Structure 1
């Protein structure tokens, strides 16, 4: 199966390999999530988080724990950040306890942020986040089914949303798998901004797929003498530069945020950046070949009569 992107270039000669690679990446991502897990932030578990910066030399983790050990802070976690900063995670605390913790950390400390979320709110956010993600997937797939309902040959109406769903699963699992790995290596936690990044990725993914599928639908009606494979060749060729430019123009600022935006935005930009790359891959090398495989073999190389 060859998909000509430009004169003399066939990148779908190995379309089976691209499909196998996508499935392998999904399985690796699932394995990463199972092995490393997704560390939930206080948005979902409830608790308090404080980030401070030492104006002088930063004490060791053991020293900070010793200063706070007499306070009832629940499961206390100390995480050094950069050269001078420290993240302190603890149970949900009141303002008077907040001030006591701050004073025990030392006079040379400058507080950068403090967030506190109760356990009830954390559980409610968890349920709402799961519901929003599922609803988003259903809405996106339903929209594809509605938008392409009039194309009945050679592609059946249910083929379009099925190919889109595979792309969405790929674009969701790959960033989560990479995030699980970084969570293990760098202590990244799943938070509301990360969920926002994932939902943004789904939006980018479906947009890229719609651009390609819409051109395929248009060319199906314009070129009834061509086989479906050739129609898809033409469609990918016509939309490739648009998808590349859109994805790269978004990716470059995201990379800048990842490297220079500070620790707070690092997890958000990681998920968004990986998702953009995954979305570009799925819109060109995953959903079109998968869609073509579902088409009646007799129409792949021969036009409609």
Structure 2
């Protein structure tokens, strides 16, 4: 199935500066938002207590807030709806030993006057554990980027690796800026979504780069812009179809998956849109901006092919007993 004709060449590189300008604005805006507003860390990273409560009727949120404010240990509680009007989540930033002991019974006693309910979930993470999880999460993200850099450098050429890493940083930064802008709670699920986006975005970029490398090797064209336009145009239908298929699945999760995976699905939605955009318009533009030389690349490939033939010749002579 083709959305775009493979024999039509689109002039992506002729418009790379406007797209790079747009990406620069989004990237800088995301950095500013992250530094000014910060990320809304959940209890997985910040430490604290989450109590999920379900009422028989609509939850009286205002009454819950009033009652909890009268208790010093619950004075900092944040109460919000969770999926339906009958369910609420109570978030506490502290995890003292007093709170962690039979907290379900204590909540039943404290909120007895607000109606009939059941405590469905209690999650407690200490601040030390939360800090360790946050550090390990950052470490996992950093290691993933380093391994990707090594892999792409080995498979392609160092300029391809730098361009792919710049595209990944572009995608992840904008996605995290959206998380900060909409105050999405950042927890282990969000970290999993970000790591998923790394692989998704890299896969799209590698396919485009693979086609560019193939074009450099098979084409007699000497202008990189022309080869990039041809390569991206040939992969445009594949990239669009893959992204649309994934997008529709994630939209379904976002709309009907419930509150518990809302943040995960939102992160994937933003990442898919930004990752597809960067694979088509940005990654190859970075390659052009890095002054990739077709002549040098073809010379290196010719040298590799020459060495390979020499090795095959020596091996053949050895097998025939002439060496």
Q: Normalising by structure 1, what TM-score?
A: 0.86
Structure 1 residue 293, shift from structure 2 partner: 2.6
SS at match of 2:185: coil
Once residues 12 and 178 of structure 2 are traced to their aligned partners in structure 1, the CA distance between those partners, rounded to angstroms, is 26
Structure 1 residue 42, shift from structure 2 partner: 0.4
Structure 1 residue 48, shift from structure 2 partner: 0.9
In the alignment, which residue of structure 2 is the partner of 1:259?
Answer: 255
In the alignment, which residue of structure 2 is the partner of 1:245?
Answer: 241
The one-character-per-residue Cα deviations of 1:260-284 (angstroms, maximum 9, x if unpaired) are 1111111111111100111101111
In the alignment, which residue of structure 2 is the partner of 1:87?
Answer: 89
Once residues 221 and 133 of structure 2 are traced to their aligned partners in structure 1, the CA distance between those partners, rounded to angstroms, is 53
| In the alignment, structure 1 residue 99 sits paired with structure 2 residue 100 | no
In the alignment, which residue of structure 2 is the partner of 1:273?
Answer: 269
Q: Which has the higher helix share?
A: 2
Once residues 225 and 181 of structure 1 are traced to their aligned partners in structure 2, the CA distance between those partners, rounded to angstroms, is 45
The one-character-per-residue Cα deviations of 1:247-267 (angstroms, maximum 9, x if unpaired) are 111111111111111111111
Once residues 65 and 24 of structure 1 are traced to their aligned partners in structure 2, the CA distance between those partners, rounded to angstroms, is 41
| In the alignment, structure 1 residue 292 sits paired with structure 2 residue 294 | no
2:143 to 131, 135, 146: 135
SS at match of 1:112: strand
> Is the alpha carbon distance of 1:278 and 1:217 closer, same or farther for their aligned partners in structure 2, counting shifts above 3 Å?
same
Larger radius of gyration: 2
2:190 to 188, 191, 194: 194
Q: Which runs of 5+ in 1 are unaligned?
A: 149-156
In the alignment, which residue of structure 2 is the partner of 1:67?
Answer: 67
In the alignment, which residue of structure 2 is the partner of 1:10?
Answer: 11
Structure 1 residue 11, shift from structure 2 partner: 4.2
Structure 1 residue 129, shift from structure 2 partner: 0.6
Structure 1 residue 286, shift from structure 2 partner: 0.2
In the alignment, which residue of structure 1 is the partner of 2:155?
Answer: 147
Once residues 296 and 26 of structure 1 are traced to their aligned partners in structure 2, the CA distance between those partners, rounded to angstroms, is 24
In the alignment, which residue of structure 2 is the partner of 1:232?
Answer: 228
Quick check: 1:5–1:236 contact (8 Å CA) kept in 2? Answer: no
Once residues 143 and 102 of structure 1 are traced to their aligned partners in structure 2, the CA distance between those partners, rounded to angstroms, is 54
Quick check: 1:54–1:109 contact (8 Å CA) kept in 2? Answer: yes
CA RMSD of aligned residues (A): 2.3
> Is the alpha carbon distance of 1:266 and 1:298 closer, same or farther for their aligned partners in structure 2, counting shifts above 3 Å?
closer
Once residues 256 and 111 of structure 1 are traced to their aligned partners in structure 2, the CA distance between those partners, rounded to angstroms, is 29
Q: Normalising by structure 2, what TM-score?
A: 0.81
Length, aligned pairs only:
286
Runs of 4+ in structure 1 over 6 Å off: none
Once residues 205 and 141 of structure 1 are traced to their aligned partners in structure 2, the CA distance between those partners, rounded to angstroms, is 14
Q: Which runs of 5+ in 2 are unaligned?
A: 303-323
Once residues 136 and 147 of structure 2 are traced to their aligned partners in structure 1, the CA distance between those partners, rounded to angstroms, is 16
